[in-house]
Amino acid sequence: MHDPDAIDAELVEAAAAKNARAAVAALLGQRYAAARERPERKLNGGMDGVEVARLYSVAADGLMTDLWRVATEILYPAHNPTKAERLSLVAVGGYGRGVLAPFSDLDLLVLRPWKPTPRGEQVTEFILYVLWDLGLKVGAATRSVEECLSLSRTDMTVRTALLEARPLAGDAALTEEMIQAFRQMVAKADPRPFIAAKLEERDTRHGKAGVVRYRVEPNVKDGKGGLRDLNALFWIARSLAPDSPLGARVLEELLTPKERRTFEEAFDFLWKVRA
């Protein structure tokens, strides 16, 4: 493992290169590949699938925090930052939950307090281009706190993503402001439209995936009884109890201890196959 000061020195050196983006991508690509070797070894050693998925997420966190530091502290620092120039990086969707498959999308939100600023656009552009240079699949949005709240009132896809919001880097107070305002909004909202949307998505997904029991290689992600179905249950539970991690309080009320164990075993098995 690298010493943190040495890591910083390497980042500074890469950012000072003639082609900074290429140099940063090369350095972070090497680190990311090395970090991903650990979950691979753990999976082969028999570690639980969910724990392996968490290690893949930890590897991605390291990549994103390093990349954020390069962009915001070295290449585009805010020497005299105003409140309008605050920025934060938030993991959302499945990545926000802290579990990833080896080739999962990285769902990201670059959060700003109000209107876009030139620096914010530079930071976001650099981060996205480096991630694309690394061949990663990225789902990214840049929004203000108010835009997050406004969209999530009517767009159930946005609401789903923000249910899993997790701070990665940047202005912690800004991220916390958004998360708390979002949770209050969800707690006051009628949950029925969200639940109906998730059930409709499930039916559409099952139709596309086909009948799982007749497939030689079942779709463990999108098929009936797959990870997406379990995720939908998490999302519905979280929408009913937005302050409870993974909607645990709702699941505990709905499931018997035996059903909860069965649920957790199924979740772990599917993640082991997916990882």
Lowest mean pLDDT among 11-15, 17-21, 24-28, 206-210: 206-210
What domains, with CATH codes, occur in the chain?
A: 4-188 (3.30.460.10), 192-274 (no CATH)
What torsion, rounded to 10 degrees, do the Cα atoms 266, 267, 271, 274 define? 70
Beta carbons of 132 and 99 less than 8 angstroms apart: no
What is the structure's pLDDT at 2?
47
What is the structure's pLDDT at 213?
62
For CA atoms 137, 264, 156, 212, give the dihedral sign: positive
Indicate whether this model's pTM tops 0.85: yes
Interior/surface letters 198-235, b for 16+ CB within 10 angstroms, e for the rest: beebbeebbeebeebeeeeebbbbbbbebbbbbbbbbb
Beta carbons of 94 and 104 less than 8 angstroms apart: yes
Average pLDDT of the chain is: 89
| Tens-place pLDDT, residues 162-196 | 999 999 999 999 999 999 999 999 989 999 999 99
Residue type, 152: S
Residue 54 pLDDT greater than 90, yes or no: yes
User: 271: part of which helix (H) or strand (E)?
Assistant: helix 257-274
Which residues touch 99 (CB under 8 Å, ≥6 apart)?
A: 50, 53, 54, 56, 57, 271
Q: Which two tokens stand for residue 168?
A: 């990665």
